[in-house]
A and B are shown apart, each in its own frame.
Chain A
Amino acid sequence: MKALRKGSVVGPVIGILWLFVIATTVAVMMSFITGAAFRPGLIGTLLVGLGLGLAAFRLNDRWALIGAGAVATFLLMMVGFGPVLTGEGVTFIHKLLCALFVGIGAGWPLQAMLGGHTISEMTRHEFEEVIISFLTGFGYVFFTAIVIIPFYVMVMTSLKSQQALLQNPLDFTLDWDKGWGLFRSYQELFTDFGFGGYLWTSFFISVVTVFVTLLFSVPGAYAVARLRFKGAAAFSRSILLIYMVPMIVVALPIYIVFSMTGLRNSLFGLILIYPVTTIPVSLYMLQGYFRGLPAEVEEAGLMDGLSRLAVIWKITLPLSLPALASVSLYVFMIAWNEFLLAFMLLDDPSKFTLTRGVASLNSSEVPRQHLMAGAVIATVPIMVLFLGLEKFMTKGLTAGSVKG
Chain B
Amino acid sequence: MTTAVPPKGTGPLAKREARLAWGLLFPTIFSVAMVIILPLLSIFWISIKPIGLADLRPPVPVVREQLRGKPAAAGDTATIEYRLRNSSQDTLIEGVTLSDSFPPGVTVTGEIPEGCKQTGTEFFCDFGTIDPKYNNRMKIEVEVGQEYFDWGGHPKDSEPVVTGTADFILTNGEFTLDNFRRVFDGSEFWSVFGVTLAYTVFGTIGAIVVGLFAALLLNNEFRGQGVLRGLYLFPYVAPVIAVAFTWVTLFDPTSGSANELLIRMGVTQEGINFFGQKPLALIMVIVFEIWRYFPLSFLFILARLQSIDTDMYEAADMDGASPFQKFWYLSMPMLLGILSVVFLLRFIWTFNKFDDIFLLTGGNAGTRTLTVNVYEQAFAVSNIGAGAAVAVVVFGCLLVFSIFFFKFISREEGL
Q: Which residues of A are in contact with B by a Cβ distance under 8 Å?
A: 27-28, 31-32, 37-40, 87, 124-125, 128-129, 131-132, 136, 139-140, 143-144, 146-151, 153-154, 157, 165-166, 168-170, 172, 215-217, 219-220, 222-224, 227-230, 232, 235, 237, 240-250, 252-254, 256-257, 259-260, 272-273, 275-277, 279-280, 283, 308, 333, 336-337, 339-340, 344, 354-355, 358-359, 362, 368, 371-372, 374-376, 378-379, 382-383, 386-387, 390, 393-394, 397-398, 401-404
Contacts and interface: CB of A to CB of B under 8 A. Distances in A.
Contact of A146 (B14, B22, B291, B296): B291
A273 B374 CA distance: 20
B296 A124 contact: no
Contacts of B352: 244-248, 404
Interface string B313-341: 00000001011100000000000000000
Contacts of B146: none
A143 B228 CA distance: 9
Contacts of A32: 257, 261
Nearest to B246: A154
A246 to B, nearest CB: 4
Contacts, number: 286
Contacts of B291: 146
Contacts of B242: 154, 358, 374-376, 378-379
B134 interface: no
B79 interface: no
Contacts of B36: 242, 245, 250, 276
Contacts of A220: 24-25, 27-28
Interface residues of B, number: 103
A245 to B, nearest CB: 6
A339 B241 contact: yes
Contacts of B395: 249
B80 interface: no
B217 A308 contact: no
A215 B28 CA distance: 10
B303 to A, nearest CB: 5
A282 to B, nearest CB: 10
Contacts of B249: 153-154, 157, 368, 371-372
A139 B376 CA distance: 39
A371 B24 contact: no
A37 B394 contact: no
A380 B260 CA distance: 27
Contact of A362 (B239, B245, B255): B245
Contacts of B275: none
A223 B261 CA distance: 57
Interface in B23-70: 24-25, 27-28, 31-32, 34-36, 38-40, 42-43, 46, 56-58
